[in-house]
C-alpha cells in the first residue's frame, strides 16, 4: 500500500483509502459492483456491526463516508487529531475485515435499487447518466450504480471476486492530511478476503465519444439538457487552457453562457459548462434546464454562443480574469483537510505523487491566447452529442 502524508497544523485529520476500481473497470457482468462493495464495507466487520461502525465514529464527533467514481473508490474519515487512532481503527477494520454477510447483502440490494430509483426520479441526475451512456462508448459511459437486474443477481462470491482482483494491498493508496507525522497508518495484508486475491489483469478500458441526439420523453415541465463533445485525457498539458476557457464560457456566474442565456434571455435558472478529464479521455459539456416550450430556443441560443466563441475567441482581459478566478477558487477549495486528502489521493493515483498547487497555478498563469484558441478549435459543433430529457418530441442542432 502506498501511504502519502501531508502535514498541516490544523485541528482535523482526514484519511482516505483509495482503490483503483470504479465503474470504468467493470466488465459486462460486473456493472455496479464497485459501488455495491462501497456499501457493503459499512455493513459490518469481524469486530463491529454496522451499528458499531456508525456509533464509534459518531462518538468521536467525526465523519465516515465513501464514494465511487468512474475510476476509483474512496473510503474516508475526518476526525479531530486527538481521536485519530480510534477513528483510523474503524476505517482500517472495514478494509481488512469486511464480512460481506449474505443476509446483509440481500438487504442492501434494496437500498441500492432505491438509490437507482432516486437518481432516475431526479431529471438533473438522470439526464447526465443517459448522456454518458449514449455519448461515451465503452466502460466510461456505464452508470456507476449499475442496473436493477444486475444488482438483484449478485452473490457474495461476485463481490469477493471483484475485491480479490482490485482490493489487493499493493493496489491501495492511503492519503492522510493534518498533524500526521507520528501516526501509524499501516494496514495488514492478512485480510478476511485474502484467498480471493488474484493477479490483476489489464483492463480494456475504452473511452470513445460519438455524436448524436437523444430525446427521452418524460411528462415534466422542464427540459433537462446535456450537450458536449470529446476532449483529451487528464495527462494532456492543454488541460490548463481548457479549465480557463471553461471558466469564462460557462463555469461562473459572470460567464458568457450565464449572462446571455439566463440574465439577458431569461431562458433558464441554471446553465453551466464543465471540462471532465479522465485517464482514457475527456469531454467538454454544457448542462441547462428550461421550460419545455423553450427547449429549441435554448439550444439555438447555446449554439449561437458557441459559434461566437469560435469566431471571436477570448480577449486578453477575459483570459486575465479567468487566471485570477482560477487562482482564487482553486486555492480556496483546498482549505480543508478533506479536500487536500482527496487531491493527494487522486494525484498519487494519476501521477505517482502530490502535485504542488503552486505549480498548477503557475501552469495556468502561463496559458496564452494561442493556447486558448487551440482548445476552442477542438470544440467541434458537428461532433456534439445532445441529450434532452423532457416533454418534447424532437430537437434540432
Domain boundaries of the chain, sorted by first residue? 2-187, 208-390
Per residue in 90-140, pLDDT tens? 999 999 999 999 999 999 999 999 999 999 999 999 999 999 999 998 889
**pLDDT grade, residue 198 (50/70/90)?**
confident
pLDDT at 204: 64
Active-site residue flag, 38? yes
Least Cα distance to 245 among 96, 378, 372 occurs for 372
- Angstrom distance (rounded) from CA 278 to CA 245: 18
3-state class (DSSP) for residue 42: coil
> Do residues 314 and 239 lie in contact, with contact meaning Cβ atoms separated by under 8 Å?
no
**pLDDT grade, residue 201 (50/70/90)?**
low
Least Cα distance to 301 among 343, 250, 351 occurs for 250
Angle (CA) 285-287-290 rounded to 5° is 150
> Which cell numbers hold the place of 237?
498539458
Q: If you search the block for the grid coordinates 498539458, which residue do you land on?
A: 237
- Angstrom distance (rounded) from CA 291 to CA 129: 21
3-state class (DSSP) for residue 129: helix
- Phi, psi torsion values for 385, nearest 5 degrees: -110, 135
pLDDT at 200: 62
- Phi, psi torsion values for 193, nearest 5 degrees: -120, 25
Q: Starting at the earlier edge strand, list the strands of the sheet with 12-19.
A: 2-7, 173-178, 12-19, 73-80, 63-68
- Which burial class, exposed, middle or buried, applies to 18 when counting CB atoms under 10 A from its CB (0-12, 13-18, 19+)? buried
pLDDT at 291: 98
Q: If you search the block for the grid coordinates 469486511, which residue do you land on?
A: 98
DSSP string, 202-246: PP----EE--EEEEEE---SEEEEEEEEEE--TT-TTHHHHHHHH
Encode 327-341: b = buried (16+ Cβ within 10 Å), e = exposed: beeeeeeeeebbebb
- Return the CATH fold of 208-390: Cytochrome Bc1 Complex; Chain A, domain 1 (3.30.830)
- Angstrom distance (rounded) from CA 290 to CA 299: 10
Q: Is the pLDDT of residue 294 over 70?
A: yes
pLDDT at 195: 87
Query: Which residue in 30, 38, 96, 318 is the catalytic one?
Result: 38
- Residues 195-217 have a mean pLDDT of 83
The answer to whether 2-187 and 208-390 have equal CATH topology is yes
pTM: 0.94
- Angstrom distance (rounded) from CA 282 to CA 101: 38
- Angstrom distance (rounded) from CA 345 to CA 201: 23
> Do residues 99 and 42 lie in contact, with contact meaning Cβ atoms separated by under 8 Å?
no
Q: Is the pLDDT of residue 60 over 70?
A: yes
> Do residues 395 and 303 lie in contact, with contact meaning Cβ atoms separated by under 8 Å?
no
Residue 217's CB is within 10 A of a number of other CB atoms, namely 11
Q: Which CATH class is domain 2-187?
A: alpha beta
> Do residues 91 and 75 lie in contact, with contact meaning Cβ atoms separated by under 8 Å?
yes
**pLDDT grade, residue 147 (50/70/90)?**
very high
Q: Is the pLDDT of residue 183 over 80?
A: yes
Q: If you search the block for the grid coordinates 441529450, which residue do you land on?
A: 387
315 Cβ contact partners less than 8 Å away, ≥ 6 residues apart: none
- Angstrom distance (rounded) from CA 355 to CA 359: 7
- The angle, 0 to 180 degrees and rounded to 10, between the axes of the packed helices 369-378 and 239-246 is 80
Distance of CA 93 to CAs 10, 41, 174, 382, 396, Å?
A: 26, 9, 14, 52, 54
Per residue in 229-288, pLDDT tens? 999 999 999 999 999 999 999 999 999 999 999 999 999 999 999 999 999 999 999 999
pLDDT at 203: 62
**pLDDT grade, residue 194 (50/70/90)?**
confident
3-state class (DSSP) for residue 5: strand
- Angstrom distance (rounded) from CA 177 to CA 53: 22
**pLDDT grade, residue 82 (50/70/90)?**
very high
3-state class (DSSP) for residue 154: coil
Q: Is the pLDDT of residue 218 over 70?
A: yes
Q: Name the helix (H) or strand (E) containing 283.
A: strand 282-291
| DSSP bridge pairs for 15 | 77, 176
Amino acid at each position: 500500500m502506498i501511504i502519502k502524508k501531508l502535514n498541516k497544523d490544523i485541528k482535523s485529520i482526514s484519511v482516505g483509502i483509495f482503490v483503483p476500481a470504479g465503474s470504468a473497470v467493470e466488465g459486462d457482468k460486473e456493472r455496479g459492483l464497485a459501488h455495491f462493495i462501497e456499501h457493503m464495507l459499512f455493513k459490518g466487520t469481524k469486530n463491529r456491526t454496522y451499528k458499531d461502525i456508525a456509533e464509534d465514529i459518531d462518538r468521536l464527533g467525526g465523519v465516515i463516508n465513501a464514494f465511487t467514481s468512474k475510476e476509483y473508490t474512496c473510503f474516508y474519515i475526518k476526525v479531530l487529531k486527538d481521536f485519530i487512532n480510534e477513528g483510523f481503527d474503524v476505517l482500517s477494520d472495514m478494509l481488512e475485515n469486511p464480512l460481506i454477510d449474505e443476509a446483509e447483502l440481500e438487504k442492501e440490494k434494496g437500498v441500492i435499487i432505491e438509490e437507482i430509483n432516486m437518481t432516475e426520479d431526479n431529471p438533473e441526475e438522470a439526464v447526465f447518466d443517459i448522456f454518458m451512456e449514449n455519448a461515451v462508448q465503452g466502460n466510461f459511459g456505464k452508470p456507476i450504480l449499475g442496473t436493477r437486474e444486475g444488482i438483484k443477481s449478485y452473490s457474495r462470491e461476485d463481490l469477493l471476486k471483484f475485491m480479490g482482483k482490485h482490493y489487493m494491498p499493493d493496489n491501495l493508496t492511503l492519503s492522510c492530511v493534518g498533524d500526521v507525522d507520528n501516526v501509524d497508518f499501516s494496514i495488514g495484508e492478512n485480510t478476511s478476503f485474502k484467498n480471493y486475491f488474484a493477479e490483476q489483469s489489464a483492463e480494456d478500458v475504452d473511452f470513445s465519444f460519438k455524436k448524436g441526439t437523444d430525446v427521452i420523453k418524460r411528462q415534466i415541465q422542464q427540459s433537462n439538457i446535456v450537450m458536449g463533445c470529446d476532449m483529451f485525457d487528464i495527462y494532456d498539458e492543454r488541460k490548463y487552457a481548457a479549465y480557463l476557457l471553461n471558466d469564462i464560457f460557462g463555469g461562473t456566474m459572470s460567464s458568457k453562457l450565464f449572462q446571455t442565456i439566463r440574465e439577458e434571455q431569461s431562458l433558464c435558472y441554471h446553465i453551466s459548462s464543465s471540462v471532465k478529464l479522465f485517464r482514457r479521455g475527456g469531454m467538454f459539456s454544457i448542462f441547462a434546464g428550461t421550460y419545455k416550450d423553450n427547449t429549441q430556443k435554448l439550444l439555438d441560443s447555446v449554439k449561437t454562443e458557441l459559434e461566437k466563441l469560435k469566431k471571436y475567441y477570448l480577449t486578453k482581459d477575459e483570459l486575465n480574469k479567468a487566471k485570477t478566478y482560477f487562482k482564487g477558487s482553486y486555492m480556496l477549495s483546498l482549505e480543508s483537510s478533506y479536500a487536500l486528502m482527496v487531491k493527494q489521493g487522486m494525484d498519487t493515483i494519476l501521477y505517482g505523487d502530490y502535485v504542488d498547487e503552486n505549480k498548477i497555478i503557475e501552469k495556468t498563469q502561463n496559458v496564452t491566447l494561442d493556447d486558448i484558441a487551440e482548445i476552442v478549435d477542438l470544440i467541434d459543433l458537428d461532433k456534439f452529442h445532445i441529450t434532452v430529457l423532457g416533454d418534447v418530441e424532437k430537437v434540432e442542432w
